[in-house]
Structure 1
Amino acid sequence: MIHELRVYHCVPGRLPALLQRFENVTLQLWERHGIRQAGFWTVGIGETNQALYYLLAWESLAEREAKWNAFIADPEWLAKRAESERDGPILERVANQILIPTAFSAVR
Structure 2
Amino acid sequence: MIYELRIYDCLPGRLPALLKRFTEHTLAIWDRHGIRQAGFFTTVVGESNQRLTYFLAWESLAEREKKWTAFITDPAWLKARDESERDGQIVANVTNQLLAPTAFSSVK
Q: TM-score, normalised by structure 2?
A: 0.99
Aligned to 2:81: 81
Query: Which residue does 2:52 correspond to in 1?
Result: 52
How many residue pairs get aligned? The number is 108
SS of corresponding position for 2:48: coil
Percent of pairs identical after alignment?
Answer: 68
CA distance in 2, matches of 1:27, 1:79: 14
Q: Which residue of 2 aligns with 1:94?
A: 94
Runs of 5+ consecutive residues of structure 1 not aligned to the other structure? none
Residue equivalent to 1:18: 18
Q: Distance in 2 between matches of 1:8 and 1:105?
A: 25
Q: Aligned partners of 1:25 and 1:75: how far apart in 2?
A: 12
- The Cα shift of 1:47 comes to 1.3
**Aligned with 1:106: secondary structure?**
coil
Extract structure 1 runs of 4+ deviating beyond 4 A.
none
SS at match of 2:86: coil
| Cα distance in 1, alignment partners of residues 5 and 64 from structure 2 | 12
